[in-house]
Structure 1
Amino acid sequence: MPRVRRRALAVALALLLATSGCLGVLSGDATTFEADPADVDDAAASETGFEKNGTRDSVVTREIGPDGVSETVRVVNKVTTYEKTLEIPLLGSARLGVFSIVSSPAVEIAGQTFNPVADYSNDRLVQLVTNRFGSLSNVEQVGSRQVTVLGSQTTVTKYSATTTVQGQQIDVFVHVTKVRHEDDFLVGIGVYPQRLDQESEVLSLYRAIEHPASGE
């Protein structure tokens, strides 16, 4: 999967989490909500062959509220991406395995959560990315299972989809889950070619998510 497309998929999800729906009206000056980054335990990443490609900010600034009294809200999402080099016929060796964790602030005001991801299903998360950025097509749910992430049981949904790599369409599997941990929502997405079974590795990465990231 080309680097630009991989990066677009992860950032697309971060942007959608921050810009969909209404965050609510705040009082006072400009307010910033910033998530704590998440990553994967180093040992688990090494065992699965996925290498960390860094953590970056996805920042969205919005004016919210009625005309005349609108205020600026700055939402800082954290996107951590891991990649794995895989080899398939015709394409050769490339970083075709991708695992991204998006950490998005809950945006709590007076005990209420205004981040729309709180109500998003895994189907909705995949649909949002597909509709807005076209990174995936022919998306179809093919299964799900329960996985423990950060001490909570969460549903990891598996999808069959198609993407384009070096001008060729390839079939991929996509795994998606969402979990609330402390003040953030974490959304994990794993993508790999269907020809190369990486499901056990991706599930291992989910189980090894750390939040806040190690060293934070």
Structure 2
Amino acid sequence: MTSRRTVATLALAALIVMSGCIGFLTGEESLTFESEPAATDSTVASNTGYSTNGTQTFQVNRTLSVAGAERQVAASNHMTTYEKSIDLGFFGEAKLGMFSVISTPAVEVAGKARNPIGDYSNDQLVGLVDSQYQGLKDVEQVSSRDVQMLGEQANVTKYSATAKFGGQDVDVYVHVTKVRHNEDFIVAIGMYPQQLDGEEKNILELIRAVEHPSEA
């Protein structure tokens, strides 16, 4: 009798062959995925005082175990960043807030999402902030609320932390959320000094105004 594992392996092989990915099955080629860019509505960004630094594309390579063998997967991700600054004249500009929208492909193989971001909690996602803005420490959860993003109910978690701004330690608030939209996971992250507690309203507006795909 044919085992369930054999049936699953044959089904996966058929799926890959029909998709034109024979090279991936044999290990000769990487299976590639690319997310569609995401951004926040430009009018909302302008009204809240944020300007974009543009969209960057970055690739992540991973090794997955598929049908009992290791295969290479390449995922192209996009990140659109925004900043809110004030001109202090002789002292230059001071950053009052930062906002990022990250789109990363679900990386579905045989109908199963293989991107670990899909299983990340907001507590884990806040670690992404540390990878972009070095020096984030003393992270503690403050509150949580639901906000509409891309037609989905997104759980937004607010954290208090300390971050490096211009070489100085500054107490900040960080807001993090994530939804699955079409074939991608969309992560939104906002951060600002705690002295500007009223900035939370603007960050939530930016989250509500996220667009995917964007024209970035």
TM-score by length of 2: 0.78
1:151–1:113 distance in 2 versus 1, CA, 3 Å: same
Question: Residue 144 of structure 1: CA displacement?
Answer: 1.2
CA distance in 1, matches of 2:51, 2:35: 22
Q: What is the DSSP-based 3-state SS (H/G/I as helix, E as strand, rest coil) of the residue aligned with 2:203?
A: helix
Q: What is the DSSP-based 3-state SS (H/G/I as helix, E as strand, rest coil) of the residue aligned with 1:147?
A: strand
For 2:135, the equivalent position in structure 1 comes to 135
Q: Which runs of 5+ in 2 are unaligned?
A: 1-23
For 2:36, the equivalent position in structure 1 comes to 36
- For residues 125-204 of structure 1, the aligned pairs below 5 Å read 125-127=125-127, 129-130=129-130, 134-196=134-196, 197-204=198-205
1:112–1:64 distance in 2 versus 1, CA, 3 Å: closer
For 2:25, the equivalent position in structure 1 comes to 27
CA distance in 2, matches of 1:133, 1:151: 29
Is 1:96 the equivalent of 2:96? yes
What CA deviation, in whole Å up to 9, does each residue of 1:50-107 have, x standing for no partner? 00110011112234449xx54332110101001110479xx77323311001100001
Q: What is the DSSP-based 3-state SS (H/G/I as helix, E as strand, rest coil) of the residue aligned with 2:25?
A: coil
CA distance in 1, matches of 2:146, 2:86: 27
The letter for the 1-side match of 2:81 is T
Looking at both structures, which has the greater relative contact order when contacts are Cα pairs under 8 Å and sequence separation is at least 6? 1
Alignment RMSD (CA, Å): 2.4
The letter for the 2-side match of 1:181 is H
Structure number with greater Rg is 2
CA distance in 1, matches of 2:176, 2:58: 19
CA distance in 1, matches of 2:53, 2:158: 23
Report percent identity of matched pairs.
50
Is 1:118 the equivalent of 2:114? no
- For residues 7-86 of structure 1, the aligned pairs below 5 Å read 27-28=25-26, 29-65=29-65, 70-86=70-86
Q: What is the DSSP-based 3-state SS (H/G/I as helix, E as strand, rest coil) of the residue aligned with 2:36?
A: coil
Question: Residue 136 of structure 1: CA displacement?
Answer: 0.8
Question: Residue 149 of structure 1: CA displacement?
Answer: 0.2
Is 1:209 the equivalent of 2:210? yes
Give the total of aligned pairs: 187
The letter for the 1-side match of 2:97 is G
1:75–1:55 distance in 2 versus 1, CA, 3 Å: same
TM-score by length of 1: 0.78
CA distance in 2, matches of 1:52, 1:106: 25
**1:129/1:135 contact within 8 Å kept:** no
